[in-house]
Amino acid sequence: MLETTQKAQEHQEGPVARSIEEQTAKIPSDVFLWSAVGAMGVSLGMQAMGRKHSSLFVGQWVPVFLMLGIYNKIVKVAGSDQFDNGTAVNNRDR
């Protein structure tokens, strides 16, 4: 645990990164999942209507939403805020 705290103290996040983490941590993870599912549905509908190029454009949003969801989850679980307020937790204790 001491080693984890020392590593965290060596590396401090900047104010911009900290601000982004604070804001994204407020968003429920389901939002990103349902956004990806919605983009798939819209893309499928556009494909059925013959709007091929538009459907490919919207379909490319799916992995972006899923990656944002992963980022959101990582920020919630292992964000820098756990080190800033002195509540660093050792991963073996989880």
Answer with the residue of higher pLDDT: 71 or 82: 71
| pLDDT tens digit sequence for 44-57 | 999 999 999 999 99
How far apart are the C-alpha atoms of 67 and 84, rounded to whole Å? 25
What's the rounded Cα separation, in Å, for the pair 48 and 33? Answer: 23
pTM (two decimals) = 0.68
SS3 for the chain is: CHHHHHHHHHCCCCHHHHHHHHHHCCCCHHHHHHHHHHHHHHHHHHHHCCCHHHHHHHHCHHHHHHHHHHHHHHHHHHCCHHHHCCCCCCHHHC
The average pLDDT across 68-75 equals 89
The predicted structure's pLDDT at residue 92: 43
